[in-house]
Chain A
Amino acid sequence: MLTDFFSRAIAAGIGLAFVTGPLGCFVVWRRMAYFGDTMAHSALLGVAISILLSINMTLGVFAVAAMVAGALLLLQRQNTLSTDALLGILSHSSLAVGLVLVGFLTQVRIDLMGFLFGDILAVSMDDIIIIYAGGAAILALLALNWRPLLAATVSPELAEAEGLNPEISRILLMLLMASVIAIAMKLVGVLLITSLLIIPAATARRLSPTPEIMALVAAGLGAVSVVGGLYGSLTWDTASGPSIVVAALLIFLVSLAVPTARLFGRRESHGT
């Protein structure tokens, strides 16, 4: 089972898409796209630090991404620079520091392109196990906390007034994003991770009447993008990670032709 590199790539990609679809919906709803990008860019710094300290790379990337998210939260409380500017600073400086540190690591050969754009065709069986185990844990946390997460997204104030804790929801989402980035980095690279979060979710919006359906549709569309992109890259001998993103983009463009108003949001008097 999964003996050849291509079926391993398909399995890994589909596993990742099932997680990025639902989580990506929150990124879109909460307008966290740039925030996700910033966390993803810090992943390279995580790689460099993991090698320097010789710790597990997935853990290192997760820790650094979570720390960058925490740093942003603290800086936001200072109320000095706008979030937009803070994200710009954190995003590019963490990427730059990561690149500089990687340059210092002369004792190990690092495939920089692999980290920036991913190398899904090189995933091992161990990687797949990490993707599915980690992905299942992320989805379980998302499902268990779905109602408070959604309520906090609609209105933190309302959620808090009615006894929920929107601050915990916010921290949970950040940790889940850091986990997804740690898992996804090898597959699509730090520069393309956020596209898998955002594009399927944005496509799903036009096709979905409720948040739950949007999450499922986004997962499905992500999986279709993975399969389509990988077959495309096999057919035309193109880079696999970018091909997946291009496939997701094409599906998004096609979805723009679907008239949403006709599908949903009707007022009716006889049930749904």
Chain B
Amino acid sequence: MNMRAKGETLITLAGAGVRSGGRVLVEGVDLSISRGEIVTLIGPNGSGKSTTAKMATGVLKPTTGTVTRKPGLKIGYVPQKLSIDWTLPLTVERLMTLTGRFSRPEIESALEAVGARRLLGAAVQELSGGEFQRVLFARAMIRKPDLLVLDEPVQGVDFSGEVALYELVRQIRDVTQAGILMISHDLHVVMAETDTVICLNGHICCRGTPAAVKRSPEYLALFGTRAAETLAIYEHHHDHEHHDDGCVVGKGGKHDHHHEHAGHHHG
């Protein structure tokens, strides 16, 4: 697997945007993902994170701009939510071969890698949130994807499970050298492993290393003052203004708290 050249660009979005029914879902997205790189999209609900991920996977076609994929790019996808109806009997083993054929040893080692080997014969409807996420990771990984797209991978998982899942993402990156596009609400736990954080709110507000984004006024404006202190951000302040260049500015005085974030890591 180390044959895969590190740094090779897998996918590039240039000025990409989606307009649906006269409404702009997201616009002007420029980003590229290389092998071994973890790119994280953050932003409030409705900011276009999922839309951007769907442009990357090809589920949505951009109405403006372009999406360029490396020819033959193989994508592994972990959806935001996957509810499997009771009427469909599905064991973990069968779920692993949903979009491709794999041998029993391949399935077992993929599950082993996420610590879910014992769930092989379990019905998917019986799994807990964390177990199901692990199985979905294994399912996406077994394809040996070039690009792994994770949409809110820690939803419904408790804090210790969350830390473990992000650790898993890092391991996946190290072992497979896949590029990873991750969507997340929260910053704290994400930050450690992410190479680039892109802050979205209908457009790209700011980007950079986790540390740089965390300090940027755009980030603080978008996520409000409490954001940096809470682990999961579910409430957002949407009352920001835009400069002509599309960047967000805080309302004076509202975001003038300067927190020292280093002390908030729980891991």
Contacts and interface: CB of A to CB of B under 8 A. Distances in A.
Interface stretch (B24-32, B72-80, B154-162): B72-80
Contacts of B100: 147, 162
Contact of B99 (A29, A159, A210, A214): A159
A31 B85 CA distance: 10
A57 B125 CA distance: 44
Interface string A118-142: 0000000000000000000000000
Interface in A212-242: 213-214
Interface string B63-89: 000000000001111010010111111
A209 interface: yes
Interface residues on B, range: 35 or more
A51 interface: no
Contacts of B163: none
Interface SS of chain B: loop
B89 A154 contact: no
A210 B98 CA distance: 12
A208 interface: yes
A211 B100 CA distance: 15
A205 B86 CA distance: 9
Contacts of B143: 162
Contacts of A210: 89-91, 94
B90 A211 contact: yes
Contacts of B77: 157-158, 161-162
B75 A209 contact: no
Complex A-B, nearest 6 residue pairs according to Cβ-Cβ distance, in ascending order: A265-B123, A161-B57, A161-B77, A162-B99, A29-B88, A267-B122
Interface of A: 28-29, 31, 147, 150-151, 153-155, 157-164, 202, 205, 208-211, 213-214, 264-269, 271-272
Interface of B: 54, 57-59, 74-77, 79, 82, 84-91, 93-95, 97-101, 118-123, 125-126, 143, 149
